[in-house]
Amino acid sequence: MFSFSFSNAKRRAWLRGLDGARRWSAPAALLGALLLAAAAPPALGDAAHHDDTKPQSREGLGQVYMGLAISPTMGHPGARRLVRASDVREGLTNRVVAAMDLAADAEVADIGAGTGYFAFRLAEQVPSGRVLAVDIQPEMLAIMRERMDERGVDNVDLVLGREDDPELRSNSIDAALMVDAYHEFAYPREMMEAIVAALRPGGRVFLVEYRGEDPRIPIKPLHKMTEAQARREMAAVGLTHVKTQSFLPSQHFMVFEKPAAAPER
Ligand SMILES: C[S@@+](CC[C@H](N)C(=O)[O-])C[C@H]1O[C@@H](n2cnc3c(N)ncnc32)[C@H](O)[C@@H]1O
């Protein structure tokens, strides 16, 4: 499943196409530009839940949410690094997926799926369910498509999300997993509100992030989160903290739940 709404990435791709199409007549180009403007999502700018007054990181997006600088997106040129699995990562992936304790028919979204490292493991856990592998980079989806074909996986749907919306249907998923992805969301509040809307009542969010409290973990602070920060940000969208587990050497494994009576978006 691909979503065909006009994401920023798609708009950029279309713009690249426009660039190569200077041979278009001027009126056609003007019409294209008008359509493009009409299709653009509302500029979030001031409406986004970013802090204006906090010091901004030189390496980050220049945006801060609830006091924490937002990291830039890991670009697809680094994607092969995610595919090349180390044995250590293999083992940890299995532990993460086992800890999610999913029913065989669960519908689960892997948001910020990258090359599908977790999505394919999840697919094995839900043989009669589905995995929605969401990413904003079409190149990541292309790599996952290749890997799905190689492995003959048929219960993963690829979803091209937008920076502020994972493009999931309301009340359609039992769980959402984000591994090393949430801290990259340019619009964390908008993303989480949409994820909460997509969860069924009682649905769970699994958040895996490098531990911000531990200076020995050799990862830039921009790519880490403290448990307290994550709990604040999840509480802000109405999620209840269930537990935080420490079976991973460097990351928090945090579990949140959508209350049964959470208001619809
Ligand atoms: C560091 S990679 C992690 C990939 C994967 N979870 C893994 O552990 O192998 C982060 C991914 O999040 C994606 N991403 C960033 N912002 C996103 C958003 N708003 N919605 C969906 N994916 C996003 C990036 O494109 C990138 O593929």
CATH for 174: 3.40.50.150
Strand partners for 257? 204, 240
Domain count, the chain: 1
In a domain, 43, yes or no: no
Q: How far apart are CA 153 and CA 202, in angstroms?
A: 28
Say whether pLDDT at 7 is over 80: no
Cα 75 to ligand 1 centre (Å)? 9
Residue nearest to atom 27 of ligand 1 (CA): 114
* Domain range for 174: 76-257
pLDDT at 255: 98
pLDDT (tens digit, 9 = 90+) per residue, 22-36? Answer: 333 334 434 444 443
In a domain, 149, yes or no: yes
Residue 168 near residue 109 (C-beta atoms within 8 A):
yes
Say whether pLDDT at 198 is over 70: yes
Ligand 1 near 165 CB (within 6 A): no
- pLDDT category, 64, cuts 50, 70, 90? confident
pLDDT (tens digit, 9 = 90+) per residue, 86-102? Answer: 656 778 899 999 999 99
In a domain, 96, yes or no: yes
Say whether pLDDT at 56 is over 70: no
Which of 83, 136, 143, 210 has most ligand 1 atoms within 8 Å of CB, for mutation? 136
Centre a 10 Å sphere on the Cβ of residue 242 and count the other Cβ atoms it contains: 12
The whole-number average pLDDT for the span 133-158 is 96
3-state secondary structure 67-112: CEECCCCCCHHHHHHHHCCCHHHHHHHHHHHHHHCCCCCCEEEEEC
Cα 172 to ligand 1 centre (Å)? 21
Say whether pLDDT at 41 is over 80: no
What SS3 state is found at 160? strand
Ligand 1 near 161 CB (within 6 A): yes
Residue type, 169: R
